[in-house]
A and B are shown apart, each in its own frame.
Chain A
Amino acid sequence: MDPTDAKASHVTAGGASETARSGTHLAPSAEINALSRARFWNRFLWVGFVAAIVAAAIIGWNTYRDVRDSDDWSKWIVHTQVVLQSLDRAQADAFSIVTALPSFSRGGDLRPAKLTIPVTKMWHEIAALRALTRDNPAQQKRLDQADRTLRRVAELTGAVIHNAPTTHQQQLSRSASLTQLGDALVPFRDNLAAMSLMEQRLLTERTAEARMTSRQSVVVMGVGGSIILAWLLLIGGYASLTSSRLRQTSQALVASREELARSAAREKAEERVRALLETAPDAMVIVDRDGRIVLVNAQTEKLFGHARAEMLGNLVEMLIPARFHGQHPLHRSGYFANPRVRVLGPGLELYGLRKDGSEFPIELSLSPLQTEDGLLASSTVRDITERKRAEAEMRSLNEAERRHAARLEAVNQELEAFSYSVSHDLRAPLRSIDGFSLALMEDYADQLDVEGKEHLRRIRAATQRMALLIDDLLKLSRISRGEMSHEVVDLSAIARGIVGELQEGEPERSVECVVPDGIEAHGDSHLLRAALENLLGNAWKFTSKQPHAIIELGVLQRDGQPLYFVRDNGAGFDMAYADKLFGAFQRLHSTAEFPGTGVGLATVQRVVLRHGGRISAEGTTGKGATFSFTLHESLGVSNGE
């Protein structure tokens, strides 16, 4: 974990919590305002509501009354008109009598029907009117008078009809009756006219009353409607206000929910940071500008041996050995002046101080931490005791390695110098010995007897053998030195070449050589050739006394690895001396029996070892020998030095 990252997230979280806090701080006053406003609106709306209810009730009542009254009025109006029509008809009847009277008086048409029908009709009308105006006492009184006058009219009519005039007297009396009838009709008609007038006045009154009522209704409706409208407007206004308020509230709700989620996430992040801090493999100490410890983790407790409570609020110097106290505040102020991520330790000798007073080497990384409480320094403290120990061990190991390598190098150089010197300087004296021995033999032959000459011959033979030994020794040393290449080597082809050379050297010998195709090995072709030269050369040499010599090169698979072998049916060897076979200059046969220096098998073993393999020999005296070797058995084994 990169401590700076954790710090950064921590800081962000702190900043967010601040804004959230200020947000909730603002809320109450706004809420109180909104609340009082709502309460006011509430009351206002209630009053409006009651008013609207009342208005609606009044309108309802009014409407009901209007409907009911208008029914009454129309009935009344119709009734009045019926009455008026009835009065009109009675008037017309009375008028028809009046118009009939002159003809009666002149003695013209005297049909009684002309009088009786209208009278009868008038009775009907009066009866009808009495029924119609039952509720009107004034009209009834007038009807009573009309009734009385009509009765008089009817009497007079009867008199007129039944007393047909035969005499003049009678004529006179009839005309008097007619006059009386006419007179009697006048009050009747007046009466009817009065009734008619009254009915008309009533009609006018009722119409006016109806008009009045409807005007009132209009007023009531208008006022009530206005009240309801006003209330509706109020409701509408309130609703729109409320809805916008609601919208705000819901927005605020959403925002607060988001804020909640954010704060939960922040909590979680902080929890994570805390968990990270606590489980961090290193001790973490967060220090303020004054050097006071603000925060530590569990590792700090473990590392320094102080309980958390002992450290928090104290100066960080408590974790630092006293000898560094002098410069530490200076370093700290320097750091706070130029805060950046720094790793201290490599190349610096830094130490921590435990509670028990012991010190331990540390590596320190510092990172600045911008928080709401100001700039802090977060330090990650790592105990590097183990690393130092390991480094020291590594150093000493490296030192040992280096010394060893140097020693090896020195040995190699010595060997190099030795073999160079051997090849140059040891041979020169041998040449002198041999050369001057021969010079003696040539120049002083006459002064030497047979024994003297034989001595010189031995001297020369020894020097030449020594030269051979030196050459083989140099070959062996050359095998051990030098770079190795790694390639696929065709052992079959090399073996055939070697056998061919051996055969050329001793063409008279008949040797059966078994070399199958395709025997391959991985390694250095020159070294492998040297090994095969020695092995096949040995086989060739030690089968020289065998009439039917067989030399075989082969390969077997053993433990999943190729096992190469060179077998012969030659002189063989005693297994008791098998361990001496591979030593340099070790020989199991005399030079007289089989020539050689005893370096060949040492060379083979060197080659095999340099390839990381092993060599072994099996043999029976007189029955031949088998040399088996592996390569690359243990890769990475030293070069066989």
Chain B
Amino acid sequence: MENKLILLIEDNPDDVALTLRALKKNNLGNQIVVAGDGVEALDYLFGTGAHLGRDTSVQPEVILLDLKLPKLDGFAVLRSLRSDRRTKLLPVVIMTSSKEQQDLIDGYGLGANSYVRKPVDFERFVEAVRQLGMYWLVLNERPPTAPSN
């Protein structure tokens, strides 16, 4: 699992800390890239802005996407991902606090692969992260990398 990356797009530092803690508890801590908002996330994925020059042939195995984000929210990020050849096949798991029906519809509608509500109970949160890591990093076969140009 050396080169298998997880991109966490989350603005709340508490949630970032807790998620990292949960990942570490499941031995997934070293392969995490954290983006604090939607713009940073896209810069990372497309090698622009602060991530200019990044080798964009290296893409995360799975993206954990929060919906409520500063600047670009989760839906806008998802839309940009799905409309770009390089990222349109990337697995995206929406991981958010709400389970508002509209969020579910919009999220799946824009091409999310999964929707997970973060439990308040941290033990259950850890369990959820574990399962996510197991599934997306181990069980799941990633889509073929898009030829870069």
Complex contact A464–B123 (CB within 8 A): no
Answer yes or no: B136 CB below 8 A from chain A CBs: no
| Cβ < 8 Å to B, chain A residues 460-491 | 460, 463-464, 466-467, 478
Determine if A431 and B125 form an interchain contact, defined as CB atoms under 8 angstroms apart: yes
Q: Is the CB of B14 within 8 A of A434?
A: no
Whether the Cβ atoms of A428 and B123 lie closer than 8 Å is no
A221-229, A269-277, A344-352, A435-443: which lies at the B interface? A435-443
A43 within 8 A of B: no
Tell yes or no: B21 within 8 A of A by CB: yes
Interface size on A, residues (CB 8 A): 23
On chain A, the residues within 8 Å of B101 by CB distance are 478
CA distance A437 to B119 in the complex (A): 15
Task: Give every chain A residue within 8 A of B122 (Cβ-Cβ).
Answer: 431, 434-435, 437-439, 460
Give bound CA distance, A504 to B21, whole Å. Answer: 34
In the bound complex, how far is the Cα of B99 from the Cα of A464, in angstroms? 17
Complex contacts, B2 vs chain A, CB 8 Å: none
Q: Does A420 contact B (CB under 8 A)?
A: yes
Residue of B nearest to A438 (CB): B122
Could you tell me if B68 and A464 are in contact, using CB atoms closer than 8 angstroms? no
Q: Say what secondary structure dominates the interface of chain B.
A: loop
* B100 adjacent to A428 (CB under 8 Å): no
Known: A420-B98, A423-B97, A424-B96. A436 touches B14 (CB 8 A): yes
Do A424 and B98 contact each other (CB < 8 Å), given the known contacts A434-B121, A435-B21, A439-B21?
Answer: yes
Known A434-B120, A434-B121, A464-B120: A425·B68 in contact at CB below 8 Å: yes
Known contacts A432-B18, A435-B125, A439-B21; A467/B96 CB under 8 A: no
User: How many residues on chain B are close to A (CB under 8 Å)?
Assistant: 20
B120 touches A424 (CB 8 A): no
Which of B18, B67, B121 is A424 in contact with, Cβ under 8 Å? B67
Is A427's beta carbon under 8 Å from chain B? yes
Does any Cβ of B come within 8 Å of A430's Cβ?
Answer: yes
B15, B100, B119: the one contacting A432 at CB < 8 Å is B15
CA distance A436 to B14 in the complex (A): 9
Minimum CB–CB distance from B17 to chain A (whole Å) comes to 8
Chain B residue with the shortest CB-CB distance to A422: B98
Is B97 a contact of A425 with CB atoms below 8 Å?
Answer: yes
Residue in A closest to B19 when the chains form the complex, CB atoms: A435
Q: Contact between B97 and A424 (Cβ–Cβ < 8 Å)?
A: yes
Which residues of the other chain, A, contact B27 by a CB distance below 8 angstroms?
none
Pairs across A and B, CB under 8 Å, 14 listed: A419-B100, A420-B100, A423-B98, A424-B68, A428-B14, A428-B15, A429-B14, A431-B97, A434-B121, A435-B18, A435-B21, A436-B14, A464-B121, A467-B121
Binding site for A on B (CB under 8 A): 12, 14-15, 18, 21, 67-68, 96-101, 118-123, 125
Q: A424-B96, A427-B98, A431-B122 are in contact. List 9 more A-B contacts (CB 8 A).
A: A423-B98, A423-B100, A425-B97, A427-B97, A431-B119, A435-B18, A436-B14, A436-B18, A438-B123
